[in-house]
Amino acid sequence: MCGIAGIIGPNPSEEELDKMLRAQKHRGPDHTGSYIDPGYAALGHNRLSIIDLSPQANEPFVDNSGRYYLSFNGEIYNYEELKEELKFFYSFKTFSDTEVLLAAFLRWGKECLQRFNGMFAFSIWDTQEKKLFAARDRFGVKPFYYSEANNNLYFSSEIKALKNVIFDTSPNLKVWANYFSYGSYGMPNETFYEEIYQLPAGHCMEFSEGNLKISKWYDFESAVKKVAENLPFEEVKAQYLELLKDSIKLRFRADVPVAFNISGGVDSSLLLALVNMFEDKKQINAYTFYTGDERYDELPWVEQMIATTRNPLQKIFFSASEVEETTRHIRSLQDEPFGGIPTLAYSAIFKQAQADGVKVLLDGQGMDEQWAGYDYYQNSGSTIQGTGDRSPFRPNVLQKNKKSLAKKPIYPEPFDNKLQNLQYRDLFYTKIPRALRFNDRISMAYSTELREPFLDHRLVEFAFAPPEAYKICNGQGKYLLRELLSEIVPKELSCAPKRPLQTPQREWLGNELRSFVEEQLQQLKTSPAADWFDHEELETEWKRYLAGDASSSFHIWQWVNASLLLS
């Protein structure tokens, strides 16, 4: 896990590249490297050493011919299998997945992407043809930001390496308006800032002589259609379990300590059970957080799970008194709005892991989207945030000229049924992109790699294809997953209900953190975004919240986010 940066064009400044690398140093504290092709390109890399810890695997990495330079963030989990295929084509000098990625590109060109099982954002510079090729993994686990300025193409792993370091940029008012009005965090190519873009998940980029070309390389819809739809339930369950085991096995490939995060839900129960199926992985450390509020804490469920496997459990207590300091630290690393107090509490796990010398953590992201675990998959509403009947958004606090910029996002519906279209939306436009961005930033804040075994593309494609009856049964989501889990853990764990957010955010914001919130609301009045808001209306909504209109706290957190990021 690392940071990448680059400048392609007639004016690649080594000084500017150095500034970009310093801005994201936390992503890779083990080594910082650069390569300059004068008048054409400057590539940089921040390394967090995970596989092949030797200096020979440092980046930017050059191939044996000296023609191609690679800067890579992520992991190619099936690198050992690919290396076996490539060893007669390429003479390897390291044991790294980095060299395998570059060799695969030399052998297969952009088609190498179809062969990778991993998370990645990388760039390859061709010193002979003076061309850049870059790509991002299927679901966008690893970030890739870019901008065209000063006749150059700039790219990086984090927005901060572009914003203010290379050039000043204004807030993207449309994205902000949609955030306040609909809870959207932008479309796959957008950021919250003008002139800074994302390379969308599953896309690649080519840049040469000032011409930028972006194309989609991952066709999820076609991949799903290739999966047999009418397999018997038991066969689907058996095949999926084998894929799960293989995904876990691949993601334990590392030359540093590995641990995993758990909550009290079905997904974590399954991750715990699968990890302990491997004899050499038993007794690996587990991490969880708790707040001491029994209405939200999952600690009793976690301890019940751990009692069956006896894994060492590191319990991290997160209190309201830690929120303000943690928020100020994490906001500087997130660059964009992020997901509230649960994200802050989750960051405490990575802080502790770093202190414990753990460099790799696994978590259970992705199962709800695969197996229809959210309540709204079963009812007529499709609200992505909040609870209750009232909208979690308060667009009425925006000035009319800003509110008019908001356009309700319209998401593609490539499938012939509502359920799969909702799942597709959550995988590529809402839930997963948002969670992956939050999680990448908080793991990298503490120089820790986060791996998502349940987002192995083989699993997602295979789980997406079966009929709705395999996913939802008697009003309960993740049906097949629960049936599978019931065979390997106690029944009460496989039937664990989907619970609310794991922190008392709603209560804290109106009580312990009331002064902090009010400080941010006051700060908004003098911020560059002051004229976005009707401050009287905002104050009225805040008073309603304090008076008990608190079915959702998302709108309160939106205002705090805006104050912290825009002041």
Q: Which domains does the chain have, with CATH numbers?
A: 2-217 (3.60.20.10), 221-380+388-495 (3.40.50.620), 506-566 (no CATH)
Read off the amino acid at residue 127.
T
C-alpha to C-alpha distance for 463 and 466, rounded to whole angstroms: 6
Mean pLDDT of 199-221: 97
Tokens of 352: 């502790």
What is the 8-class DSSP label of residue 498?
A: P
**In this prediction, what percent of the chain has a pLDDT beyond 90?**
83
Mean pLDDT of 363-374: 92
What is the per-residue pLDDT for 308?
83
Task: Determine which of 199-213, 221-235, 277-291 has the lowest per-residue pLDDT on average.
Answer: 277-291
- The larger pLDDT score, comparing residue 359 to residue 493, is at 359
What is the per-residue pLDDT for 265?
81
Residue 114, pLDDT > 50, answer yes
Residue 229, pLDDT > 80, answer no
| Residue tagged active-site, from 2, 112, 204, 473 | 2
Residue 384, pLDDT > 70, answer no
What is the per-residue pLDDT for 332?
87
What is the per-residue pLDDT for 387?
40
What is the per-residue pLDDT for 491?
62
C-alpha to C-alpha distance for 73 and 142, rounded to whole angstroms: 7
Active site residue 495: no
What is the per-residue pLDDT for 497?
57
What is the per-residue pLDDT for 1?
64
Query: Model confidence over 325-366: pLDDT tens digits?
Result: 999 999 989 999 998 999 999 999 999 999 999 999 999 999
Tokens of 385: 């945030």
| Closest to 135 (Cα-Cα) out of 216, 194, 196 | 216
Residue 386, pLDDT > 50, answer no
Residue matched to tokens 């870059």: 134
Which residues in 279-297 are b (16+ Cβ under 10 Å) and which e? eebeebbbbbbbbeeeebb
Average pLDDT, the chain: 93
What is the per-residue pLDDT for 263?
87
C-alpha to C-alpha distance for 32 and 46, rounded to whole angstroms: 5
Local confidence band at 501 (pLDDT 50, 70, 90 cut-offs): low
CA atoms within 13 A on the CB side of 518: 10
Evaluated on CA atoms 51, 462, 139, 374, the torsion sign reads negative
Local confidence band at 385 (pLDDT 50, 70, 90 cut-offs): very low
pTM value?
0.95
Residue 242, sorted as left (phi over 0), alpha (psi -120 to 50) or beta, turns out to be alpha
Tokens of 204: 């690649």
What is the per-residue pLDDT for 164?
78
| Closest to 432 (Cα-Cα) out of 421, 424, 441 | 424
Residue 494, pLDDT > 90, answer no
Q: How far is C-alpha 463 from the chain's CA centre? A: 20
Tokens of 171: 């807030």
Residue 31, pLDDT > 90, answer yes
Give 159-196 as a DSSP string. GGGTBTTTB---B-HHHHHHHHHH-----TT--SBTT-
Which residues in 112-137 are b (16+ Cβ under 10 Å) and which e? bbeebbbbbbbbbbebeeebbbbbbb
Residue matched to tokens 């509020």: 293
Mean pLDDT of 98-117: 98
C-alpha to C-alpha distance for 478 and 378, rounded to whole angstroms: 12
| Closest to 299 (Cα-Cα) out of 526, 464, 502 | 502
Residue 373, pLDDT > 80, answer yes
Inter-residue contact 538 to 397 (CB < 8 Å): yes
Residue 452, pLDDT > 50, answer yes
C-alpha to C-alpha distance for 487 and 102, rounded to whole angstroms: 42
CA atoms within 13 A on the CB side of 323: 24
Query: Model confidence over 235-256: pLDDT tens digits?
Result: 999 999 999 999 999 999 999 9
Mean pLDDT of 58-67: 97
- The helix or strand, by DSSP H or E, that contains position 517, with its residue range, turns out to be helix 514-524
What is the per-residue pLDDT for 490?
65
What is the per-residue pLDDT for 521?
97
Query: Model confidence over 141-154: pLDDT tens digits?
Result: 999 999 999 889 99
Inter-residue contact 484 to 386 (CB < 8 Å): no
